[in-house]
Structure 1
């Protein structure tokens, strides 16, 4: 049968499967046309794909494929010439499809490859960096376009701007991750000269104040005309405020920035006033920041925070007046509100602000105390567009729960009898709700779960995820009731 879909249509379809590598790989096997359209998408960022899939063994054939493109005289110099190791060049020119260079990922992949091929500790560590360097240079010279560049920790090995093809290839990058490693202090100056159209910048300030580095970072920021997203990681740096002041004083960035994330920073007293200058801000996240303060009376612009749709607060103590101010100004535009490992001194008042100003919330996450649970009912009754709801005990650490390590043991949580609450919750859950997660020590009987699920059915709720974690007496019978309900919902789709 003749395939009627042109290449451009297939490419647009496969782009929507970019995060679904399994399905995309199946598309490669359908026929020649599908293969030609899907292979370039599947091979845009294969190193990160192996990492996300948690399948490091796939790095061996991946490196074999890429190294087969390296000239034979270079292979000899690197002492990797055996055909059994590398194999033959393939049908597709895979390096041309690469859109992402992460030096630390490529270096780690080469280290895994040498351990797998030659045996652990039998291939000298000093020979790993030259292989990584050759690969990066080959990608720079042969990729049709590099969109994403991750230089974090890269200064431990080499300066990527010294490689052939760097100036030309990196001029088109859209996203950059970089730190202030002292080994190559001119890397920011190099970036400023080649990068003019960046949309995303993540900057980690790991070292003490260095005047040339600080000056070059500021120059880099102020030369970006189209920057939309920025993430600043202050760590132990003592020149974060210089960087933040340069951001807040740039009219170009006031207009272009729509997303700001700040991690582990210490502000001065004008932080709120400075933040209010970014009038197109849509996404705002604070993580473990200190001294985020300011006088609300200083801000007389009525349009401040009017476009804010996402506010995420992690592990910081924010003045309740500032929180109320931001929620009030963002008003019905705010869709996402998250408080991670954050001590909300008055959760009831926060809920009142939500139902008073932010009734269009679709996602709500909060760490709360046991005595604050009753306010959930009020939130459900008033915020009728909620799709995602997640609460967890304030004693738990969200990061530990998401990625638990082998030795992790959750703290002892206070018990709460949830019979009456579950019954009321089942009667007021918004019809839009798709996910409910409760990580608290609720006492839930099998009858409670059956009654809760029955109400979900009666009110035609189309739930996709119902999760109870750390709950007392919650066993396989409870899970089976929830599982059957979710499977029935899926069959009705």
Structure 2
């Protein structure tokens, strides 16, 4: 083991995920292992903290050992730290390995150190300042910055080393309630941001808009709108500046994920026509009004789309979106209202325009079985299918026909089936289905959600076929 090269060690580290214990053990084997795994641990040390206050405190106690002598004296003069406890200097510049900075944990540490009383605000400011100066001077290649604290008031770009640390930033996660001047400062240095994750929205932020404007290759944008009190929605054009900034990158953006609100006009209507290179589109909404975004979604034109996640839309509009794609769409998750006059057309549109379909969610009724059969036959790459019964209450869909269709016509790649709502499945229907599935090469992952016809007798049969290896996993999603 001691002679394994570094590439193999990096591959091994991926198997540990966020479990720090085996990574710590690897540090003790020899010098090569230590040098390899210490860089992994310090690349993103925050992911090993698990919100544990004790771990946060221990981590930052190590971090502040890296402080310069001037920083130590400054903090000691403010009665924040005991100089005698900071004499031990680390033999390795651990912070140089860090390329992901989560400022939320800086705030947690300082709260633990000073408490929350306003009396110590000045102390908190000084220690924040020295920690941020430390990271700007020691981080050699910062790639990710999480900036979500509305009280953050430090101009990072003014700190020594910022011109070396910040230019390679590629992912920014932030909120709009951070001081606009902070973003204006970042815009002077950061030009290569590819991903912006905007969490929550309170007001237009001119500095953030400017930061977005100057990026050279912005290709991922995520925007989550929280529903605040009505006073926060004074105008429908609240996000107009942000929308205009995003529109400037219409040719580059390929991943766009937004939580919508019918009271906020974002993204602008032009978005749906100009972002023609999109590959991933996720549009969710907070409103309870179904189909309230149909008028916007009619303009969607995403010919290169591969992943579509959309909520509260009509089947007509969903068919319209899919019909404008050019065959690359392989993942569809859409929340829509069932319309018996549109359902067949939707399924037909899917199998005509999505030959490479792998994952699909459908709401269907008995009348749709013929088109479902065609979808199963024509979408040869189908791997997962989720089928929700349209009928409610005492009206039970014909589960025996459905199971027969799945086992007879599903492509060989299909391995995951989830049934949702009131499918009527008898014990005999289930056993017949599983017996026939045994002739397939791939074992089945079978899931149910809100299917009242499933009894303890059904579960015994499922356990039997799981033991035989025909079912690799059964899951009742109501209990997960």
- Whether TM-score is above 0.5 comes out as yes
Question: Which residue in the other structure is 1:471 paired with?
Answer: 451
* CA contact 1:270–1:293 (8 Å) conserved in 2: no
195 and 122 in structure 1: CA distance in 2 versus 1, 3 angstrom threshold: closer
Structure 1 residue aligned with 2:437, among 430, 435, 456? 456
Q: Distance in 2 between matches of 1:68 and 1:320?
A: 62
Deviations 1:327-349 (A, max 9, x none): 12323211111114x43544432
Matched with 2:281 is 284
| Match runs of 1:333-482 below 5 Å | 333-340=328-335, 342-345=336-339, 346-366=342-362, 368=363, 374=369, 376-391=372-387, 418-444=399-425, 447-463=428-444, 465-472=445-452, 473-475=454-456, 477=460, 480-481=463-464
- Aligned twin of 2:41: 42
Shift of 1:188: 2.6
Q: For 1:47-86, what aligned pairs fall within 5 Å after superposition?
A: 47-51=46-50, 58-70=55-67, 73=73, 76=76, 77=78, 79=80, 81=82
Shift of 1:229: 0.8
User: Residue 437 of structure 2 contacts residue 470 of structure 2 at CA under 8 Å; is this kept in 1?
Assistant: no
2:175 paired with 1:179: yes
2:229 maps to what in 1?
none
Counterpart check, 1:147 vs 2:143: yes
Contact 1:309 1:333 in 2 (8 A): yes
- Measured after TM superposition, the shift of residue 291 of structure 1 is 4.2
> How many pairs are equivalent?
446
- Secondary structure, counterpart of 2:327 in structure 1: helix
Partner of 1:198: 193
Question: Measured at CA, do residues 166 and 270 of structure 1 come closer, stay the same or move farther in structure 2, by a change above 3 Å?
Answer: closer
CA contact (8 A) 1:65 1:87 kept: no
Match of 1:484 among 447, 450, 467: 467
Query: Per-residue deviation at 1:173?
Result: 0.6
Residue 256 (str. 1) matches residue 252 (str. 2) = yes
Structure 1 partner of 2:478: none
Match of 2:476 in 1: none
Question: Does the CA contact (< 8 Å) of 2:155 and 2:185 recur in 1?
Answer: no
Matched with 1:221 is 212
Aligned match of 2:323: 328
What SS is found at the alignment partner of 2:46?
helix
- Matches of 2:57 and 2:358, distance apart in 1: 43
Aligned residue in 2 for 1:310: 307
Between the aligned partners of 1:187 and 1:94, the Cα distance in structure 2 is 27
User: Cα offset for 1:176?
Assistant: 0.7
CA distance in 1, matches of 2:328, 2:175: 34
Hey, what's the Cα distance between the residues in 2 that align with 1:69 and 1:468? 54
Structure 1 residue 227: deviation in Å? 1.0
Which sections of structure 1, spanning at least 5 residues, go unmatched? 396-410
Separation in 2, partners of 1:413, 1:121: 56
Q: Shift of the alpha carbon at 1:393?
A: 7.0
In structure 2, the gaps of 5 or more residues are 227-231, 287-291, 474-480
Secondary structure of the residue that 1:311 maps to in structure 2? Answer: strand
2:333/2:361 contact within 8 Å kept: yes
Q: Scaled by the length of structure 1, what TM-score is found? A: 0.74
Q: Is residue 390–residue 438 contact of structure 1 (8 Å, CA) maintained in 2?
A: yes
Deviations 1:157-190 (A, max 9, x none): 4335265544542222100122221x62222312
Q: If the length of structure 2 is used for normalisation, what is the TM-score?
A: 0.76
Cα 1:92/1:269, change in 2 over 3 Å: closer
Question: Offset at 1:195?
Answer: 1.0
| SS of structure 2 residue aligned to 1:171 | coil
Residues in 1 aligned to 2:154 and 2:432: alpha-carbon distance in whole angstroms: 62
- Any idea what SS the aligned residue of 1:37 has? helix
